[in-house]
Structure 1
Amino acid sequence: MEQPVHHFSELFEQLGLPSDAASIERFISRNSPLPPNMSLSEAPCWNEGQAELLREAVQEDADWAEVVDHLDASMHKQQ
């Protein structure tokens, strides 16, 4: 059984955030780079529910894990 493939915009929808390309780019620009030792789910830009979704996606290697890893890399990258 194949794992569903989620797009970056779908993750932002799951997080309750605007999911168009310009909004995603603005969000990442405003909230990054994160310190190298800070996990994505610990970033101050998330509310408790958003942080939990991100944490669980990685811990459970859920079908969201790959796109969460992409967001993690984007938020840690130096602008």
Structure 2
Amino acid sequence: MEQFQHNLSHLFSQLGLNNSDEFIQSFIIQHQLAQHQNIAEAPFFSAIQRRFIKECQEQDADWCEVIDQLDALLRK
């Protein structure tokens, strides 16, 4: 099975968001997760985006590592 190396830019593109470095930094500054909140339940994502994140987590997909990275950045 082929392993993919995804990064934040790829994830934002996959989520249908602007994937520029400036947008990603702004997004992280403007959006934060509560300590108990799962990223797949974040209200600032659309239903389709939340479903994608949840399915990736449930399937332990290639995207999980970068989703975990974004999750950590949203908790700082």
TM-score of Structure 1 vs Structure 2, range by shorter chain? over 0.9
Q: Which residue of 2 aligns with 1:15?
A: 15
What is the distance in 1 between the residues matched to 2:40 and 2:28? 14
TM-score, length of structure 1 as denominator length:
0.91
Show structure 2 runs of 5+ residues with no match. none
Percent of residue pairs bearing the same amino acid type = 41
Kindly tell me the number of residue pairs found equivalent between the two proteins. 76
Structure 1: which 4+ aligned runs deviate by more than 6 Å?
Answer: none
> Over aligned residue pairs, what C-alpha RMSD do you find?
0.9
Aligned residue for 2:74, secondary structure, equals helix
Show structure 1 runs of 5+ residues with no match. none
Which amino acid letter does the alignment assign opposite residue 3 of structure 1? Answer: Q
TM-score, length of structure 2 as denominator length:
0.94
Q: Which residue of 1 aligns with 2:39?
A: 40
What is the distance in 1 between the residues matched to 2:75 and 2:54? 16
